[in-house]
Amino acid sequence: MKLIDGKTVAEKIHEQTHASVQMLAKRGHRPGLAVILVGDNPASRTYVRKKAEQCAKLGFHSVKLELPENTSQGELLAHVATFNQDPEIHGILVQSPLPTHINEAKIVHAISPEKDVDGFHPINVAKLALEDPSGFIPCTPLGCRCLLLEYGVPISGANVVVLGRSMIVGKSLALLLMQRGSGGDATVTVAHSRTLHLETITRAADIVITAIGSPHFLQAKHVRDGAVVIDVGINRVEDASQKNGYRLVGDVDFENVAPKCSLITPVPGGVGPMTIAMLLSNTIKACCQIHGVQVLHST
């Protein structure tokens, strides 16, 4: 069993992104990312802080807008409209989940598709399904594919089982891995909470990817010997021995599953760091497309 080191791969991507920032600077452009956080969900706060820190490190223009929990939908839409018009901003991310009084779909629709670096806008979802390379692909699926490619895992023709059918991860990942060409051509099965005979399905997989948000869900009985397991879950479980009272675990019963795998991602340190790397990479792509310039590196 070998661990997939997401932190190291993410660092490599950040270096490429940094080189792209420098190339853009020579042409008078600076990629800009706006991140909007509504309310004070502690996990979201951490993610948003990490995104802003990495932006600063790589020389991005970065705006972090923190709004109170009682922000109205209209107010949030007005902020999105302002960033849509702002020539210094190329990427806009509204951190999910939003408070329940806000219709998340309405907000996503309001983001200009050219600046939708999350890839959640219907135009970008359609472009992913249509294999139009000008679209933005959600960051977590991109991060998963990047890890598989970096570790030389054959994707073409492989049996991939994705657990979870969210738009952010499961469904997008299925579309991504079945695209034609490099990094695609997989035979993808999407399993979910209503799937019957899950064990039979996952045991036939060369690659199992879990994105369900359920600690210890995937067990040793679910995977065949030599499988590759990618754990997208980030779950907080109570742990009095930790100074903040919790620890992070994935969707995989790591202790029992890992010995059976050829490759497996840890949590933390697997997919998590890749998501930010792909976000900044998508922002470079947005900046290039908006200004009609090309740099070597892109997602």
Catalytic residues: 51, 95, 118
Binding residues for ligand GUN restricted to 256-275, rule: CB under 6 A: 275
- Does residue 153 interact with ligand GUN by CB under 6 A? no
DSSP string, 164-219: ---TTTHHHHHHHHTSSSTT---EEEEE-TT-SSHHHHHHT-SEEEE-S--TT-B-
How many contiguous H segments (helices) and E segments (strands) does the chain have?
A: 10, 11
Q: Considering the complex, what minimum distance in angstroms separates the CB of residue 94 from ligand GUN?
A: 6
Binding residues for ligand GUN restricted to 93-122, rule: CB under 6 A: 93-96, 118
CB nearer to ligand GUN: pick between 202 and 299: 299
Closest residue to ligand GUN in the complex (CB): 96
CB nearer to ligand GUN: pick between 271 and 295: 271
Per-residue burial over 236-261, b if 16 or more Cβ lie within 10 Å, else e, is: eeeeeeeeeeeebbbbbbbeebbebb
User: Reading across the β-sheet that carries 32-38, which strands appear in turn?
Assistant: 61-67, 32-38, 91-94
Stretch of 78-86, 89-97, 126-134, 225-233 lying at the interface with ligand GUN (CB under 6 A): 89-97
Neighbours of 116 (CB within 10 A): 25
Q: Considering the complex, what minimum distance in angstroms separates the CB of residue 211 from ligand GUN?
A: 11
Q: How long, in residues, is the chain?
A: 299
- Does residue 9 interact with ligand GUN by CB under 6 A? no
- Does residue 290 interact with ligand GUN by CB under 6 A? no
* Cα 259 to chain centroid, rounded: 26
DSSP for residue 130: H
- Does residue 229 interact with ligand GUN by CB under 6 A? no
Q: Considering the complex, what minimum distance in angstroms separates the CB of residue 204 from ligand GUN?
A: 29
- Does residue 231 interact with ligand GUN by CB under 6 A? no
* Cα 114 to chain centroid, rounded: 18
Number of residues that bind ligand GUN (CB under 6 A): 9
CB nearer to ligand GUN: pick between 139 and 186: 139
- Does residue 41 interact with ligand GUN by CB under 6 A? no
Pattern 131-150, ligand GUN, x by CB under 6 A? --------xx----------
Q: What angle do CA 93, 112, 118 make, to 5 degrees?
A: 35
Q: Considering the complex, what minimum distance in angstroms separates the CB of residue 219 from ligand GUN?
A: 25
Is residue 155 a contact partner of residue 142, using CB atoms and an 8 Å limit? Answer: no
Question: What are the residues facing 188 on neighbouring strands?
Answer: 160
CB nearer to ligand GUN: pick between 65 and 198: 65
- Ramachandran angles phi, psi of 161, nearest 5°: -115, 120
Stretch of 92-100, 223-231, 266-274, 280-288 lying at the interface with ligand GUN (CB under 6 A): 92-100
| Interface residues toward ligand GUN, by CB under 6 A | 93-96, 118, 139-140, 168, 275
